Structure 1
Amino acid sequence: MKKGSTNAVKTLVISSACAGAILLLPSKGEAALGDQVLRNGMKHPDVKELQRALLQQGYLKSSYVTGYYGSITTNAVKQFQKKHHLVIDGITGKMTVRAITQTTGIKTPPSTPKTAEAAYKTLKQGSQGIEVERLQRKLKELKYFKYPKITGYYGRVTADAVKAYQREKKITVSGIADDRTQLLLFKTSSTAPAKGQMPVSAKPKPASGALRLNSVGSEVYELQSNLKDLGFYSYSLDRIFGKRTEAGVKSFQKAYKLPVTGAADSKTLAKLSAEVKKKKDEQAPPPSTGLRLKSVGPQVYQLQSNLKALGFYTYKMDNIFGKMTESSVKSFQKAYKLPVTGVADSRTLEKITAEVKKKGIEPAKPETAAKPFSVINLVGDAAELVGTPYTWGGDTLEEGFDCSGFLVYLFKKQNVQLPRTVASIWSAGKPVSKPKVGDIVFFETYKKGPSHAGIYIGNSNFVHSGSRGVTVSDFRLSYWTDRYLGAKQLY
């Protein structure tokens, strides 16, 4: 998009956000079960979610999962309400949704014996960790999981992939990876894990303590990380000891004259740790000195300006030590045979200043004051990110955002450095009785305390990064009002 047209869109969105956020209201397709009251005569994807839940509990037949709320769905809801001692009106409101979702979450599939202990941990929306990573990887292998990255977070994309698999295998379509679903999905595995643990592959880590092909877990993650630090592994840290990890171990063993087995035994791991420590000790500056990633202020501006004068920095000088500044510092350090750390320590800064002076360039003058915080720009920048995918742990435009990463990214553009987690952002903010545009609104979702947050943009709307990516939601919907904790000012 051309710059002029981008600015025009941004201006239009900003004015809408501050005057009522009319253009940013969520579409019907963006809502989730519980976001609105469902009743007779409605046709909506949420109705289909409701019907699937009723199907799972035996109140509907599969042929009635249509997305249309007719008399059959109304009667099924009435039967459910009667059994659960709710107002029998056939309307799916807040109390009915809550009862349905709670009941669905604990209901055992008909074909699974109630006395059997589950071999796999039940995974559903909001779950995260290595069990989810393994599920996503298997679904991707079978072409059900379409998202380009394995995130380890169970959001709407993962739920849809599970539903597609369940539909194909003609089992209950719930979007929840329960024991029955995972047993079928991982049926080629030779063993099942104990309840609540991650399923392991056919070749588990041997009792000797060595890591080898098909080992999984945090120890493999550390192994991959160390190999990567030393240049023997250049792939993602996925916690799975595959062929690439084995090749990295063999290359390391060969380079350090160890038996080339491909298995990371105790001797290999000890040598690897020692070499990583040695490298870090050689390169790392004192922890309390120097400008580094996430540093902000006039000293960063001066650094950027000097690097620009020397031809190592070609971007806008913005007072923020980001990836581009780090890359420029590394280039300078490499050119002048300094330890390539990306940190502008005292030695690096002195060399930069000397080279600027040697070339007869006027020393850069630091900006005396950062630009003032702009609510208009904050909201406008947020509006331009609508549609960016959700990525657990993400805090860049390239990889996508999680909830707090989205906030950190936007406030950083306004020269405000936020803590990285929702809970710590909540602790750092100044409480306000009523949110105004630019304040952060907090919610209690999957765990006790603040666990989700977004930026209030006016007219009862807020922009946030959830399982569907960056989107705008109506603050007044029952799902959010039931979970609202409060608002805080962070600027």
Structure 2
Amino acid sequence: MSKRLFFVFMVFLFSLSTAFTSNANAADTDSNTDDGCIAINLNEFNSDAKQRYIDLADKYKSDSCSKKENADLEDDGDNTTKDDEEVIYLDKNALTEAERKEFIDPYLAKKEASQDVSKDQQPTDQKPDVSGKENNNTADNGQEGDKAEESPEGENNDESAEQQDEKLDDQQNSQDKQQDEEKAEEVDKAENKTNESKPAESDEKKTDEQQGKQDESNKAKASISGVKNDSHNNMRAKSSDNFLQKGDRSTRVLELKRKLKELGFDGYGMILTEYFGDGTEKNVRDFQEFYRQKVTGVADQKVFDQIDFLLPNPFSNGKRHVDTIEFKKDLKELGFDGYGMKLTHYYGDGTEKNVRDFQEFYRQKVTGVAEQKVFDQIDFLLPNPFSNGRRHVDTIEFKKDLAELGFDNYGMLLTHFYGDGTEKNVRDFQRAYQLPVTGIADKATFNKIESVLSGDNRHDDDVLSRGDRSTKVLEMKQDLVKLGFDGYGMLQTKYFGDGTEKNLKDFQEFYRQKVTGVAGQEVFDQIDFLLPNPFSNGKRHVDTIELKKDLIELGFDNYGMKLTHFYGDGTEKNVRDFQEFYRQKVTGAANQEVFDQIDFLLRTRSAMVNVM
């Protein structure tokens, strides 16, 4: 008797509790008023989803919603939410259609489903049967039990109190089973409502992540005590279609990785698989930090929106990329650095215009977008566009500078193309100025050309060329005259003109040097070797042959002296004999005294012949 009374009493208390809960839920539902303000319990979401709802609330502030939030904060006694709940209000009328479908509709559907489940969790004596009538078996059994004990005749004495309790337990289990089936149906309804509020995805985009959500839903149906929690987790999994995080495995993860790699975020050993691991999370963090998003490592909708904005080509106007600065540096090095282009990650109007100029110059389709052809051309040109087979906007000016300095041989044409002739002229220039001879116009070559043309310590007096003006030029001219190179109207001044250049070229050709018309170290070394007297043993001179002819005519033609420009042992011996015979200082070198004596003798002989 006491057990049955206790059981009936507990059922009564549970009914009161259920009624109170239903009233509270109704009050909570009423908080979503007709003015458009929807109460959102943030405790039902993870930190990322919570932040997104907070951002929406900040974005669409309304006076009515703000008043509701303030009223909740001030009136703790009448607040229908629990003390540990964090509630905000969203004005659904201010949201866009897409935002309502993403944030409001799923939340309301989930809340409605959870309220239906709560209503179904009623005590067994209040559970409607299939026909919809109230099931009073438990109460009837209690009354029958009371009658059985009170009956003086002892009806149903074969049923003890323990047996009656067992019957009650069997009835309870049957009712619980029926409740479980109905709860599973309610969960299915909640899922269907949530799915109807989202755009349907094609079968091709179904991922392992979605299969995992289905598994979670199945677990929710199979669990009795955790129906409400499983339903909440299932709804949260459904909403995670919009983001990817560490631990996920799906084709969408692989697609995300490929796009991150294309945008320059491919570090940390990230492998192109369908798994979202530590490396992927770090790259997502770098991506979020670079594009000034909240750094979470979770690929949320903001990440996907930014990627969609950047691709298919992040190197276009209005976009940012981690490699844009390097790209601008390459353009600048290639001479395309106008329009106020600044070295930032932003691809602006100036960059677009420079790219257009680049594409036009290299005969590409002019779009202003840095496509693969642009990068391929840059890779071909750099590290040095001033080399054989390449083109540059400044190549013509470079050739003009070379020509002004006297290096304009080999059929070098004034075009943007850097060909064989240009390479040879550069080699000559580098050799004359004692630079590494490569034929490539590197930074050292440009610096030397600029130094020469600007007149800053011109050549350091180590190299002389057309246009120079210095005492060194006058000294060189005097030496050239001594050595027999004094044609082309070369005047004895400090200016290096055309006549000087031509005499210098003859000098270089005679002494088997590179003919450049520029007096470099090789020229000065040869002059130093020849002077003070080029008519001495081991040396060559343009007039040596004439000296030998004069010696032969005067009878000094012994020792096998050959008619060449070389002043050898035989020539030296003949000169010694000449000097000894005419009582000069005997040195074997044909100095001025020797030439004067020869001139006197030959004039005298010519005069005698004329007299005869």
Structure with the higher fraction of residues in helix conformation: 2
TM-score by structure 2 length?
A: 0.21
In our comparison, the structure showing a higher alpha carbon Rg is 2
Question: Which structure is higher in RCO with an 8 Å CA cutoff and minimum separation 6?
Answer: 1
TM-score normalised by length of structure 1: 0.25
